[in-house]
Amino acid sequence: MTQRRILTALPALALGAVLAACGGSSSGGTPAPAGSSGGGASGSLTVGAAGFTESNVLAQMYADLLEKAGFTVSIKTVASQEIFQSSLEKGTIAVVPEYAATYANSLQTEVTGTQSPTAASPDLQTTLTNLEKYAKKKGLTHLDPANAVDQNAFAVTTDYASQHHLTTLSDLGASGLSVKLAATAECSARPFCKPGLEQTYKIKIGSILPLGFDTLPVKQAVKSGKAQLGLVATTDATLASFGLVVLTDDKHLQNADNLIPIVNASVLQQHPEIATAINPLAQLLTTADLGNLDKQVDVERKTVKDVAQAYLQSKGLL
């Protein structure tokens, strides 16, 4: 599962707050000068990765697709938010995998200084419109957003869901049941966590069991009945093994954190083949795919490179 923190639950998270150093990454690669013409793409590009599994796998897939297009590609894993964003704006990093809602809010905060960003929305198009507005001021743009979404989700046991006829969060609210929620300690104040569940869905939350975001203790607590509801990720492919099922966010409390490639606009103008190479992935990548990719690395201990290559080959992209 993803090691990405509870991004959509934070109202003003600085870009890349989950960036972590990862050994073995290349630091080379700068955009090739404009002027390539003829049969295929050429030049050197650097793809950015944020050091957690999902970002690493996606960065590897971007790199593989760009290499197939004819570029010489390196992957750079960056240890600090300032360097990450600065490198992207300078074009020394050409493209990075990001999350639409989280990144839109981060850019709004960076551009305007607001600590209460409103750029993100449960509606993807609204989120993209706002992202484009702030990205343009930083010399950035985006490629096609994927159907895949990595966002907060709330899980119960399959037995609990069956017993109380629950498939959606609205069902839980309408049931009148009081639940203990296994989540982060910050959940009590976050608009997309306890307050949102109570206001949007009228769910009665008796207390919070502070065990983190989508952690093993969270899943074990729900499985054992110490909590009835657990804060997990939509991309957690291990839930079924704990006997858990996600209740559908039918009123769209969570923002549209679709996976989206962020690109330096000048580099893209010089090399439009970047979009041609990467965009086909967006049409195929699903939330379930993301969870399975994370699981292969984190649980099955496969390498990021092997997982990325196998997925692209299975979709006919390599």
Q: Domain containing 228: what range? A: 152-247
Q: What is the tens place of the pLDDT at every residue in 11-48?
A: 333 333 333 323 333 333 333 333 333 337 789 999 99
Instruction: Specify the pLDDT at position 83.
Output: 80
Q: What is the tens place of the pLDDT at every residue in 210-240?
A: 999 999 999 999 999 999 999 999 999 999 9
> What confidence tier does 55 reach under pLDDT thresholds 50, 70, 90?
very high
> CA 115: distance to chain centroid?
21
Look at residues 247, 281, 302 and tell me which one is the last residue of a structural domain. Answer: 247
**Is residue 261 within 8 Å of 143, Cβ to Cβ?**
yes
| Spatial CA neighbour of 124 closest among 262, 296, 258, 265 | 258
Question: Containing H/E element for 99?
Answer: strand 95-99
Task: Report the CATH number that the domain containing residue 268 is assigned in CATH.
Answer: 3.40.190.10
Instruction: Specify the pLDDT at position 35.
Output: 33
298 assigned to some structural domain: yes
Q: Are residues 45 and 93 in the same domain?
A: yes
Q: Are residues 125 and 272 in the same domain?
A: yes
Q: Are residues 69 and 202 in the same domain?
A: no
Task: Report the CATH number that the domain containing residue 230 is assigned in CATH.
Answer: 3.40.190.120
288 assigned to some structural domain: yes
**Rounded to an integer, what distance in angstroms lies between the CA atom of residue 188 and that of residue 201?**
15
2 assigned to some structural domain: no
164 assigned to some structural domain: yes
Question: Containing H/E element for 76?
Answer: strand 72-77
Q: Are residues 141 and 266 in the same domain?
A: yes
Q: Are residues 118 and 159 in the same domain?
A: no
**Rounded to an integer, what distance in angstroms lies between the CA atom of residue 177 and that of residue 242?**
22
Q: Are residues 41 and 104 in the same domain?
A: yes
| Spatial CA neighbour of 129 closest among 150, 148, 101 | 101
**Rounded to an integer, what distance in angstroms lies between the CA atom of residue 196 and that of residue 252?**
10
> What confidence tier does 79 reach under pLDDT thresholds 50, 70, 90?
low
Say how many domains are in the chain: 2
Q: Are residues 29 and 116 in the same domain?
A: yes
**Rounded to an integer, what distance in angstroms lies between the CA atom of residue 71 and that of residue 146?**
23
**Rounded to an integer, what distance in angstroms lies between the CA atom of residue 287 and that of residue 305?**
20
Backbone Cα Rg of the chain: 20
